[in-house]
Structure 1
Amino acid sequence: MTDQAVDTGGARLPGRTPVVSHFLGRTRELKELRADIERAGLDTLSGKKAPRARVLLIAGRPGSGRTALAEELVRQVAHRYEDGVLRARLSEPDGTPVPVERTARELLTALDRPAPPGAAEDDLSEALRTALADRRVLLLLDDAAGAEQVDALLPDTPECLVVAVAGGPLTGIADVRPCTVGGLDTKSALELLTRYTGSVRITVDPRAAEGLVEVCRAQPAALTLAGGWLATRPKAAVADLAKQLHTDGDEGTPLSRVFRLVHDCLPAPAARILRLLSLAPAGLIDPHTASALAGCSVSGARTTLDDLVTLGLLRALDSPLPQYEVPGCLHPLLEALSETHDRPAELQLARARMLERTVRLLHSCRAITETDNPEAREKLQGMPSALRFPSPRAAADWLTVRRPALLAAARLAVADGELDTLARRLMSQLVRAMVAHFGTQVAAPDLYGIHQLVLDVAERRDLPREKAAALLNLADVDAQTGRTAEALVRYRAALDAGREANDPYATGRAMESVGGAHLELGDYDRAADWFGRALAERLARDERADAARLYGRIATAHTYAGRYGEALRHWRVAASGHRKHGDVAAQARALSELARVQEYAGRPEESLRTCWEAVEWARRAEDVRLQAALQLRLADTLERLGDPVAARLHRGAAERMLGNELPESAPEPGPTEHGANACEIRSTSAED
């Protein structure tokens, strides 16, 4: 989710956390809201226990200070909620509702609870409610687009409190306590202006100041822009600004009139940068984003951004790296100005420059982790200094801070539809950078979403090779998270796409994965059949190492089906293939499985001999864990053969190898061992 920060135990996640300033006015509203927290709900009055968290609604138009009021309420009552404060914004800057799935996932991550990649919205909502069931949390949901979003995130515990910010009522949520926000009182509005102008210009002409407040209808956002305009013109009187706004007539809202005036007074380069910021993904800007959009230097962009903060046109965020946010109330105004002042081709070019800069930064972010590679090091040194990171830690910090904007950039690039080549490059570099810095497992939820976007582009552009790669990656995650039936459907679709692209890698991988999915589902005959098809492909291409591995997978399927004769034959072929290929460790594992099946088949003496052979090959491969597991298997076999003394010796040898944490007997093979799981092969296509 692009708009979230969390405050639990004093820690904050990078995201939209504006720099806190002194709060003004709203005394009556705060008093009423705090009273509503204590007031008995409808369920309590009827003698029932409240089934869900209390919901307080702060409703008002953008620019009315509704979010600032919510933040001040949270600040005042946060000490009552010992498990902290969670924050989430439920709308994108352009007003598009944020999917509940994304919001729930980010909140679960903030709570250190698992959020399986690709999980359905209902499952994630239920997981969030479960995570909050034994907590006392304050949940701030900003810019809610509708009651459905809020309802899906409500905790099922009255010990939690939800503060929702929206433009109107949340019809459908029971017992909501609404607070409608209008303009500030005159005293607070004048104090807000004084922060920018100083007290002299207000006190020398109080009527003009009150007139300006009236023109702005005491709306905090409009007053902030008016104050910023006056602050940069110390010789201008308050009356001059009020007169200009009166002259402009009553067209538009007070905020739009002040905004147009401030924009028209900006130098042309700064005004252009301001308009182009409407293209910033998720409304999050850093100097590189502004520099790429405008085609100027990074230092020049940083100076302009700071100037726009002074004018109240941007907000600086509390972030370890320079980062800014377009206020939500200004985003539609910026878009309208861009459509008026800038040609569509110019906007598309600016968007392309921004995506290209992002691709290069992601490439640099990944390359800094490969400094032991001379070729990567040389490429990194060839990049401009402004795009290079001083260390892997600095690159990881940048990736963490910019993650919401980077994911939003990928979504917007794909939605655009005209920049698919850049979108594909962006997603490829984003996947590689995340894997390099966070690891596949940690980054899995984000990677799942990116692979879905890759699939969208591949289907739109009729790119069967990339479609196959995306389907394989998505299916791997589905299989890993227990959605085996869904994975099977995607593996079959990947097989069709691979055949269409005439891609032998994708075709063979999909066949093997289809077999792995059937194995996981317990359909051993189909599993063996699909492994056999994949084996034929490997043999036809003389890929002996993969063929040996597939013989083992076929043997596993036969073992589960109880066909021990077939299993023994295939394990012997697998061990022979690994031996010919020179893979000692794989040969040892194959012999280990052969010994296991021999024991299942009632041949303990043969199993004992094979196990001894496997121990020797495991020793040569220096695989200590396998040696220990084999020693335990020897112990079990010897006990069955009536030799407890020798069994104790082997068990003691295993314990000396790995300590006292070993199980009492060798583990039985499951569908996920020795390559039987469809997720065992983690190869990624070059496009990804």
Structure 2
Amino acid sequence: MRFSVLGPLRAWRGDEELDLGPRQQRLVLAVLLVRAGQPVPLSELVDALWDEDAPSSAVNVVHRHVGQLRRVLEPDLPLRATGRWLVRDGSGYRLLVDADSTDVLRFRALVVRAAEAAARGGNAEAVAVYVAALRLWRGPCALGLRPSSWADPTFTAVDRECLSAATDAADAALACGLARDVLPTVRAVAARDPLNEELHARLVLLLSASGHQAEALAEYRSTAARLAAELGVDPGPALRDAQRRVLRQQVPIGAPAEAEPPVVRPAQLPRDLSTFSGRDGDLTRMLTALDAADLPMTIALIDGMPGAGKTTVAVRLAYEVANRYPDGQLFVNLRGFDPGGSAVEPAEVLRGFLYALGAPGDRVPADLAEQTGLYRALLRDKRMLVVLDNARDVRQVLPLLPDSPHCLVIATSRNRLTDLVTDEGAHPFTLDPMPVPEARAMVALRLGVARSAREPEAVDRIVAMCGRLPLALAVVAARAATYPDVPLSSIAKELEDAQGSLDAFGFDDTSDLRAVFSWSYRTLTPGSARVFRMLALHWGPDISLAAGASLLGVPPREARAGLAELTRTRLMTEHKPGRYQFHDLVRAYALELGAELDSADERREAESRLLDHLLHSANNIHLLLRGPRPPVPLDDPLPGVTPETARDYDDALAWFGAERHVVESSVATAITHGAPAKACQLALTMQQFYQRHGLHHSWSVVMELGLKAAREAGDRYGEVRAQRSLAGAYYYLADNQRALALLREAEPLIEELGWDSERPYVQRNIADVLSYTGPSGIADYPTALEYYQNALEGHRAMANDHGMALSIEGIGECKLRLGQPEAAIALLTRSAALYREIGDRNGTASSFATLGEAHLVLGRPEIAATHLMAALVLHRGVHERRGEVNDLVLLGDARAALQDLDTARAAWEEALAIMVEHHLTWAGPTGGTPAEIRDRIEGHPSHTP
């Protein structure tokens, strides 16, 4: 665990940042962190949250926030357990942290160490440690969480520790001539307290000692003006003395007595693009890393796909930070992906850099190692900014790295230069396509706000067709600017008419996207080039390594090698571990190449292998979710296809979660590619995942396609399965009229096929619909009971334990609705036992829930609550959202019957939250609708005062 409160409140478990909950809950954690391992009385936490207006329930609220924080910090913590981080201490709480786990204690430890070094005369050591301490600060303590008169001074006192440390750091630096080392840090801290005379006096002296006399005097004047305007006072002695010393050109204590000789300060940055816009988030991340204390950034490595705007962002970043590097800026385009293949050699770059740094021509050695040595010697005590654009590999970059912690290198590449990260400590930043608002702003900046505002819909269409890629947007904007009288809607239509090809982007030879992409493609090995072309045939939003291997017809190890090369060249991105994706425009380029270089038979066979992989993988894995039902028979997979499997239930859900959009796309694509039978089979594998996660609308859309595919393929068995599944989707959507119509259609088809094993399942489904007619209908329990009994007879004749459990459960529910709770309890106890025997957790949970409801009807709320808690645990284990809602509503009813209204309301509120989060409109006759749950909450005010 790591905690940060010096700035915004944040916490991490390993590399995962935690959601710390609502504002009051975060404030409790912030106060505990500021007290840094010391006990905090409940009264102080109450005062921190409410000041003078605390409600009488305040103590209970604090306890609840503490309980929630414990679960956030330790999600596997057993109920009511204390845990290792947040513990009770007397009448309050204490957070068990140390200097390794929280920034506030680490800061204090560093300040003590720095003060000790300064006391024994080690000012240079003190400066380094003070700077490390101050870089832990990312803004005022507990930024955004200062609500009350008690909490505000507490956090402000911590801020004063920062200001005091900055003042001491400045004194130590001025005493040993290291003003430049602390200047950026002290400047940043001073900006947070513009009226702190002592600190701003030190800033004036630091600026002067760093050779910025004019800026030092400007700092004095601006501080004096603020004091007069806001406090009505003149500068005090410290600030006046600092001004006098600058005016008299007095050298600060400990600084060199003689001025340094003039030096050459190169300024090689290219012109900053006047139409630059967007990338605010990326630039913020880079600047934050530059200011970080725990791992200061000396190399920023910017990678991204062709056309992502890496050079433009690197130049903008360089201009943002240039004032921090007063000794100048070096820039080179390494031409790593030049279409002519002429990447610049490091020796050539070093010669140019050495000349720029003032080295006489006769002193520049010919040997690369000697050039590197001289270059690093010249930069050793400098603060220099070096921009290495368009690097092809690490070999090009290594000789150009300064040997100085005070310089910053900004390198860009299409490749992921991982050796720079692992060996040289580079900070990697990947540029993805621009966010939509930034892409819109870029178009508006290039075409004019008025022209863009007249056709906002056309701008959005252009942004979408360009895939938010800066280069593509620039190409189209240039074309639009050339023809100011042409409506943007016409340009958008031209892009759409290109139908996914790059024809619309060939504006001129310098901006043709095909040419730009080809520079990366030509660097690929033949094997990786084939992988690039073939993977473009994949019709989902991304592709897994396993699916890619099957599409290619090769072992996963071979596919991994090709994918690794594609990600290094940024032609594909591994946006999640083991999952790869194209940018739309790069995929269009790959498809063009494939159509030109690969035969139609090769491409058709690859697509068939991909569909087979998805179908067999989904079929294997969904068997873990559907319970003990006979599998749908499939043909053997094609040669070269290696289907995936899952370890267990949770792994199966995770697979469908990752592949959901790919499978959905594949259902539609299989129909258009002449494989409707496989499209239906693939759609059927999704049912259990949809049902568990409450994705009922998606379920209905996909199964409409599945039913259409079965009918197109003439697959009568598939048609029945699709009708049943689609009826289930409508049933969960509370559209029981359509559900019943589909099931009635299936009945004669089953008779025609003589499909005896399927008949009782359809009868049970019809009974389900008749007994749960939705929020606007009237249940027909007598008729439903007949259907359940017929289904039971059919399943019993085939010794189908699962079908028998389903039917007995349905009969028990009908008995309960018909006013026979004791009979219902006997039946539901039988169904629960059967479900447990066959390992159906969802069925067991459903029986337990209805058992709880029956005991509630009989006035046994304590027994009901026991059954409902067991149901809730099981439903959560199988991720059955609708079941969770039903359990929680009934559990709230049971707790309300026991007069425990606070727990009842908490259960109902959680049920409502699940319905809202998963867009559920109805959770059965007991769970009801969101409005019915709200009525329960509003009708039962809390007992807590």
Q: Which has the higher contact order (CA 8 A, sep 6+)?
A: 1
**Fold in common (TM above 0.5):** no
Q: TM-score, normalised by structure 1?
A: 0.43
Q: TM-score, normalised by structure 2?
A: 0.33
For the pair shown, the structure with the greater C-alpha radius of gyration is 2
